[in-house]
Amino acid sequence: MTSSYSADQIQVLEGLEAVRKRPGMYIGSTGPRGLHHLVYEVVDNSIDEALAGYCTHIEIDLNTDGSVTVTDDGRGIPTDTHSRTGKSALETVLTVLHAGGKFGGGGYKVSGGLHGVGISVVNALSEIVEVTVWRDKKVHTQRYERGVPMTELVAKPYKEARTGTSVTFKPDAQIFTTGTEFDYITLAGRLRELAYLNAGVKITFTDNRLEILKSDAPKVETYEYKGGIKEYIAYLNREKQPLHEEIIYVQGERSNVQIEVALQWCTDAYTDNVLGFANNIRTVDGGTHLEGLKAVLTRTLNAIARKRNKIKESEPNLSGEHVREGLTAVISVKVPDPEFEGQTKTKLGNTEVRGIVDSLVGEVLTEYLEFHPSIADSILDKAIQAFKAAEAARHARELVRRKSVLESSPLPGKLADCSSRDPGESEIYIVEGDSAGGSAKQGRDRRTQAILPLRGKILNIEKTDDSKIYKNNEIQALITALGLGVKGEEFDSTQLRYHRIIIMTDADVDGAHIRTLLLTFFYRYQRSLIEQGFIYIACPPLYKVERGRNHEYCYSDRELQEVIAKFPANANYTIQRFKGLGEMMPEQLWTTTMNPETRTLKQVEIEDAAEADRIFTILMGDRVAPRREFIETYGSKLNLAELDI
């Protein structure tokens, strides 16, 4: 059979049809992340009005029918007829991709919305969109369904001189197949972040979904921070011990690029937490603003260290990671023509920003530290201490390497490696104990799957300094098996020996503890592993239900109840509860947990870096009081029957 391939087969996707066909291109995914992205797109438009100086209050409501309403008191989307499209400007913005006021036409000086796809994409991917605009003493309304206008733009007189825009949209279940329920905590995290980044803007967030809340009153939170990112730093460090009370703050503008930086070092933190934002968008993958900040911090502190004779002439400079040890920093830049790498806008590319950050921060920081010598001394003492600890750790590492060379095997002895040398197709299972390791080694696919059994619980690296880390056998085995390199150095993914690092622990409390310790290790030792999506968690079954010759595996108590519910009332069946992976036959382990065709893997992601950092500090850190407070706050929500005490 021959199929003809002619001009008729070439599809031209008109207007918003392209968005519905390939939603992932515009919002990243059709899972929870993409769903929440819709809200951010609409809120970003209101924030842009605030940046332009026209909006002071933004309200976000989660409604009972699953829709969201975003209302602001900005200028309102223009409603007059657009000369090129012949439709109202409002309809143009909502139905035409790459239409907007942010391409340098004088509507906005700085904005986060860059591609002009924001609100039109939300319109395309929603069952219903209702827009209300107040301007020129009129109220204008229009309704859309899946991107198609259902009504004309209707205008009615309005008595008050109110201006602003209100957008209500209900995500389309045909597109978001994993569900259209918004998560309050995810949205609250981003809205709080926006309020910190835009000092003085008031954001009110209301959840009216009483059934989900299990309460009889809506939940309302207001975010308004006069101190902006200084208050953000105070929020991030509230569980830590600051080295200096006053937060160092730099603000300035050069060549139309606005810069804000807030810095505070803490005594009880051994890594840095530097968050970068460009036009309110969090730049997860860094960019020129972060490069500039890191360079200027290193240069300035080395200059002051030499001036104050903290480093002798013959001694080398302090490196960036030592200078930044214990630092929490937020840098927010507002750039008129931002160049983001990728549609999801996670890396800033403007080269001029590097120099502007460097010079502005350099001047203010030098002046500040010269006027506050005691603060300069404590920051430098911490950096020098970090440098000495790193030297000790380096000696420990060299010792380790020498030892392994003598044993003629640089890889740990208990690692059962895979035969493939291509990291892209290789995966490593980190398992607890030798019995589970034995089953996994027998059940695996030797070509692409490696197994590393760990003995006992690994070190909690949140509480230990670097020199102890390298003396620990289990951590040594992890570092060499994975090819991780040195803590704090730039992560080089080409050295990574496996592109899937899978934590496979028992489904009990000890297994959960070991998993937490491993995640702490990856988060603090080499955070990029998690950020770039290399870390996974295996999901072994909890139960095996046998009835006659048939059997099923259940991965949760709920699944077990569902399987049992299908049986007739008088059915004979047996339930086997797997206490540990060592109890499973190699063949069982392969089919349920390790076979790429049938297994379930959870990829570990960090949606909210600030919150992740705080939780690791509270739950795994040195100080007991914040942990106790955390347990008292959330203890009531635990199912006490599941606790192993």
Q: Which residues are annotated as catalytic?
A: 432, 506, 508, 510
HSE-CB for 381 with a 13 A CA cutoff:
10
HSE-CB for 589 with a 13 A CA cutoff:
25
Residue whose structure tokens are 């924001």 = 118
Residue whose structure tokens are 């796809």 = 117
Q: Which structure tokens are listed for 292?
A: 């500039």
Q: Which residues are CB-contacts of 282 (< 8 A; sequence separation ≥ 6)?
A: 193, 275, 276, 346, 609
What kind and span of H or E run contains 586?
helix 586-589
199 alpha-carbon distance from chain centroid: 23
Q: Which structure tokens are listed for 149?
A: 């206008």
432 contacts 506 by C-beta, under 8 angstroms: yes
The count of other CB atoms within 10 Å of the CB of residue 77 is 25
503 contacts 535 by C-beta, under 8 angstroms: yes
How many angstroms separate the CA atoms of 148 and 421, rounded?
A: 52
Q: Which structure tokens are listed for 325?
A: 């040890």
SS3 state at 193 = helix
The count of other CB atoms within 10 Å of the CB of residue 349 is 14
Helix locations, 198-324, DSSP H: 210-213, 229-236, 288-307, 320-323
How many angstroms separate the CA atoms of 540 and 515, rounded?
A: 13
349 contacts 339 by C-beta, under 8 angstroms: yes
Residue whose structure tokens are 């369904």 = 145
SS3 state at 324 = coil
Residue whose structure tokens are 């009483």 = 210
419 alpha-carbon distance from chain centroid: 34
Q: How do strand 257-265 and strand 248-254 relate by DSSP bridges?
A: antiparallel
How many angstroms separate the CA atoms of 496 and 485, rounded?
A: 9
Q: Which residues are CB-contacts of 318 (< 8 A; sequence separation ≥ 6)?
A: 298, 301, 302, 305, 311, 380, 383, 384, 387
**Single-letter amino acid, residue 169:** F
SS3 state at 68 = strand
How long is the chain? 645
474 contacts 458 by C-beta, under 8 angstroms: yes
CA distances from residue 339 to 194, 287, 288, 324, 345 in whole angstroms, order as listed: 20, 10, 10, 27, 9
Q: Which structure tokens are listed for 98?
A: 């790459």
- What is the DSSP track for 207-234? E--HHHHTSSS-EEEEE--TTTHHHHHH
| Angle between helices 624-634 and 609-620 in degrees, nearest 10 | 110
The Cα diameter of the chain in Å comes to 87
CA dihedral of 618, 384, 317, 356, whole degrees rounded to 10: 40
Residue whose structure tokens are 């200027």 = 296
Q: Which structure tokens are listed for 492?
A: 């080089």
